[in-house]
Structure 1
Amino acid sequence: MEQLTRAEERVMQVLWHIKKGFVKDIIAQLDGEPKPPYNTISSIVRQLEKKGYVQYKAYGKTYEYYPAISKAAYRKRAFFKLFTDYFDESAGNLLSFMVQENSLLPEEVEEIKKIINQK
């Protein structure tokens, strides 16, 4: 599957949240003002459908969209792409980065140590 753009990911976040909906439902759930134009979101949803991330049910000329891929499956795919592209598939590189950037709380470090010791 192709990588998602920021706009596509934003629409997918809404669809994962609402489970299914029409373009107007997606627009209503988007943060910020002014809301994006209907045609813009409609185009994004159609692109997501072409990429295999969204499916739809037709009601005449109106379409109800729903995710074709779960949020968990997408998260896994996105994480492994990040892991491969930026951390050379090294858990050590990833953890080192997180520790150096102060991204881990002390209790999280302890939890990671417990997990490692159990393995």
Structure 2
Amino acid sequence: MIELSKAEFDVLDALWINYPATASQIIERLSDDKQWHEKTIKTLLGRLVKKGALTFEKDGRQYIYMPCIERADYTLKESQNFIERFFSGRIAPLVSGFAKSEQLSQQDINELKKVIDDWEKNQK
């Protein structure tokens, strides 16, 4: 599992939007939300390459970046790690905590019910 800082994740997330992408395209995507200098983003891209989260091809004077991991795979692993660390691998206490603090919307509840219903149908 690749460990990413929040800033590294933000850069990778900008790449997941549409790839392959040049550094300039990634910088442009991040410029709306972040006040980062172009050099900072390029440093983060270099770190992500070293960590094996990104790969690149050189095209003339530009580097074209591609993710080595899919967003869904990364978020699943991170979610599993979070639940393991904070809830001993159990999901019920996590959902229960949100329910007790009234942070579950009706849409959240409906989606959870559907997930459980689908799971139960597949178990039969």
Q: So what's the TM-score if we normalise by structure 1?
A: 0.84
Letter in 1 for 2:84: T
Identity percentage of aligned residues? 27
Letter in 1 for 2:71: K
Q: For residues 60-85 of structure 1, what are the alpha-carbon distances to aligned partners after superposition, in whole Å with 9 as ceiling and x for unaligned?
A: 44311011111101110111111111
Counterpart-to-counterpart distance in 2, 1:25 and 1:9: 16
Counterpart-to-counterpart distance in 1, 2:23 and 2:109: 43
Q: Which runs of 4+ in 1 moved over 2 A?
A: 31-34, 105-114, 116-119
Q: Please state whether the residue corresponding to 1:69 is helix, strand or coil.
A: coil
Going from structure 1 to structure 2, the CA distance change for 1:72 and 1:61 (only over 3 Å counts) comes to: same
User: What residue is the counterpart of 2:106 in the other structure?
Assistant: 106
The answer as to 2:1 corresponding to 1:4 is: no
Unpaired runs of 5+ residues, structure 2, are none
User: What residue is the counterpart of 2:73 in the other structure?
Assistant: 73
User: What residue is the counterpart of 1:32 in the other structure?
Assistant: 33
C-alpha RMSD of the superposition: 2.1
Counterpart-to-counterpart distance in 1, 2:68 and 2:22: 15
Tell me, yes or no, if the aligned pair for 2:2 and 2:53 is still in contact at 8 Å.
Answer: no
Going from structure 1 to structure 2, the CA distance change for 1:100 and 1:62 (only over 3 Å counts) comes to: same
Counterpart-to-counterpart distance in 1, 2:107 and 2:34: 38
Q: Cα distance, 1:54 vs. partner?
A: 0.5
Unpaired runs of 5+ residues, structure 1, are none
User: What residue is the counterpart of 1:23 in the other structure?
Assistant: 23
Letter in 2 for 1:87: F
Q: Cα distance, 1:105 vs. partner?
A: 2.2
Number of equivalent positions: 118
Q: Cα distance, 1:19 vs. partner?
A: 1.4
